[in-house]
Amino acid sequence: MQTTKLVREILTIVALLLQTLEVDTRWSQWWTYDEGISGPNYWGLMNPGWSLCNKGHNQSPVNIDPKSLLFDPSLSPLEINGEAVSGVLLNLGHFLTLEVDQTNHWAPGINITGGPLSYNYRVSQMTIHFSHSDQDGSEHTIDGRGFSAEIQIYAYNSDLYTNMSKAMTSPRGILCLAVLVKVGQELHHHFERIHRVINDTLYKGDRLVIPYFNLRALLPDTKHYMTYEGSLTNPACFETVTWVIYNRPIYISQQQITGLRRLKQDTVSNPVLLMAGNIRPLQPLYQRTIRANINFVERSCSMERDMNYIGTINSDHFHDSRHYSVP
């Protein structure tokens, strides 16, 4: 009881202090992925506008249990038009992000439809999540097991909304493609475009213009995926996101993941805090269903060992590579 009372008093004091700051600084800069009062357990308590972070029943990320997946024959492959984008690579402290320039005619962007989508979605942003270890760097997990990193590619509903900001607060507003990442023997040639400029975005606030980037080349070579309705994984945790998680990972080298782990949470004046660990804890699935376009019965659920995370309905067959998919 005393501990609970003390926490409430601290939260009240912090909230009063934050009221004296500018709105943008007060909220967008204050939250963290730490275990303290700025961390995920308190996001929804400090700001009423973030209440979904604590009270929502459609939150992300989630664990994907292979045994509970529902095969949906209506899920067609995604239709992805375009491959290259231009934009600004930016260290936000919370994560490294590529903000896509929607006006560049040399890299006209990427549009996505099909699959679980009823509208057209236009790619607007890419973020990268990772940790200090190769086993728990992804926000989503498969059968309780994590991956080295997770690349999240966000697109907004361009049929109904004019931009990402409007779409993220609106129904059917956002699509997020989740690409799970593992460490392999060879570097990923297209991810190397990011790795080569890590030093230019090492500290919070650092930014670099990327005139041309083949974002589509970061997607795994597969038509199979899992999908569910969820939320943003950072405040304000709006429940407006259709998630698509590919059933195969991509591979980057040890050198490339080490480069990510050098990124800092703060500016050059406070270089101690590392960005690694920018992962929201798993959220309850509640009554949601995760659908897949993988017909296990038709494909006989192969038990063959391979180098991808596909696997088998039986989680015992994830092996060292912890795959989930069908050959």
CA 54/CA 272 separation, integer angstroms: 30
Q: Which of the residue ranges 16-20, 55-59, 125-129 would you say has the lowest mean pLDDT?
A: 16-20
The percentage of the chain sitting over the pLDDT mark of 70, rounded to a whole number, equals: 82
Please tell me which residue, 326 or 119, carries the higher pLDDT value. Answer: 119
pLDDT digits (tens, 9 = 90+) for 132-152: 999 999 999 999 999 999 999
State the Cα angle at 27 between 278 and 140, rounded to 5°. Answer: 25
Q: Distances in Å between the alpha carbon of 109 and those of 17, 84, 178? A: 42, 6, 18
**Which is catalytic among the residues 121, 161, 251, 324?**
161
For residues 121 and 175, the answer to whether their CB atoms sit within 8 Å is yes
Token pair listed for 34: 């730490």
User: What residues have CB less than 8 Å from 15, skipping those under 6 apart?
Assistant: 46
How far apart CA 143 and CA 123 sit, in angstroms, is 29
Q: How far is CA 29 from the centre of its chain?
A: 19
DSSP assignment letter at 68: G
Which one is predicted more confidently, 324 or 107?
Answer: 107
pTM, 2 dp: 0.86
Cis peptide before 61 (omega within 30 of 0): yes
Per-residue confidence band for 30, with pLDDT thresholds at 50, 70 and 90: confident
> pLDDT, tens digit, for every residue of 242-300?
999 999 999 999 999 999 999 999 999 888 899 999 999 999 999 999 999 998 765 44
Query: Tell me, what's the pLDDT at 244?
Result: 99
- Residue 213's nearest CA partner among 237, 232, 191 is 191
- Is pLDDT of 15 > 60? no
Tell whether the model's pLDDT for residue 316 goes beyond 50: no
**Span 30-52, mean pLDDT?**
93
pLDDT at 241: 99
Q: What is the distance between the alpha carbons of residues 309 and 139, in angstroms, rounded to a whole number? A: 16
Q: Give the model's pLDDT for residue 270.
A: 85
Q: Provide the strand spans (E) within the chain.
A: 63-64, 70-71, 78-81, 84-91, 96-100, 111-114, 121-130, 141-142, 149-157, 174-184, 207-214, 225-230, 241-246, 250-253, 291-292
- What is the reported pLDDT for 16? 46
Fill in the amino acid letter for 96. Answer: L
Task: Render pLDDT for 154-172 as a digit per residue (tens, 0 to 9).
Answer: 999 999 999 999 999 999 9
| Known active-site residue 228 | no
Q: What is the mean pLDDT of residues 109-126?
A: 98
Please tell me the predicted confidence (pLDDT) of residue 107. 82
Share of the chain above pLDDT 90, in %: 76
